[in-house]
Amino acid sequence: MSITDVIAAPGFAYAGTITVTRTSAGTTDGHGRYVPGATSSFVLSPVGVIPGSSHLKPSAEGWSAEASVLLYTTTKLIKLPVPDKVTITPAGGVAEDFAVVAVEGPWVGLDCTMYVVTLARLSTPGDS
C-alpha cells in the first residue's frame, strides 16, 4: 500500500473539493508601479484533511484566534514568495478560503512523496 492509497482511503480522503490558486510574484512596470503576478488554479487529489484548531496569536488590537487546517497531499504547495490560496468546499457546503502558512516535507517513500501543509483561514469582509 502506497502513501497515495492511504491518503485516498475512505475515512481519510476528503469528500469535498479543494482548489489551489497559485499567484506568481509580481513585478514593477517601467514607471515603478507594482504589477500583480499571473494566477493559475488546480484541484488537489487525493488529499486528506484534518480540521485543526484555533491558534491564539497576539496583535496590536489584542489576542485573536486563527483557525487552521492540516492537509496531507502529494502536491507541493507554496508558502513563499506568495502563499498559495486554498479553497475548501465541503460536499454540499460553503467554500472557505485558506492560505498556506507552513509546509512540512517532503517525505519520500512507499512509491510517492508526501507533504503536510498547515493552512490558516483567510478572513473576509463581514467576518466577526
Domain extents for the chain?
3-22+36-121
- To the nearest 10°, report the CA torsion of 66, 69, 75, 80: 10
Domain 3-22+36-121: top CATH class: mainly beta
- Count other Cβ atoms within 10 Å, centred on residue 90: 13
Do the bridges between strand 62-73 and strand 47-59 make them parallel or antiparallel, or are there none, so unpaired?
antiparallel
pLDDT at site 31: 93
Cut 0.95: pTM above it: no
How many degrees, rounded to 5, is the angle at CA 51 between CA 15 and CA 81? 95
74 CB contacts (<8 Å, ≥6 apart)? 3, 4, 7, 46, 112, 113, 114, 115
Local confidence pLDDT in tens for the 128 residues of the chain? 666 676 666 666 677 889 999 999 889 999 999 998 999 999 987 777 777 656 566 667 666 666 788 888 889 999 988 899 999 888 888 888 999 988 998 988 777 888 999 888 886 555 54
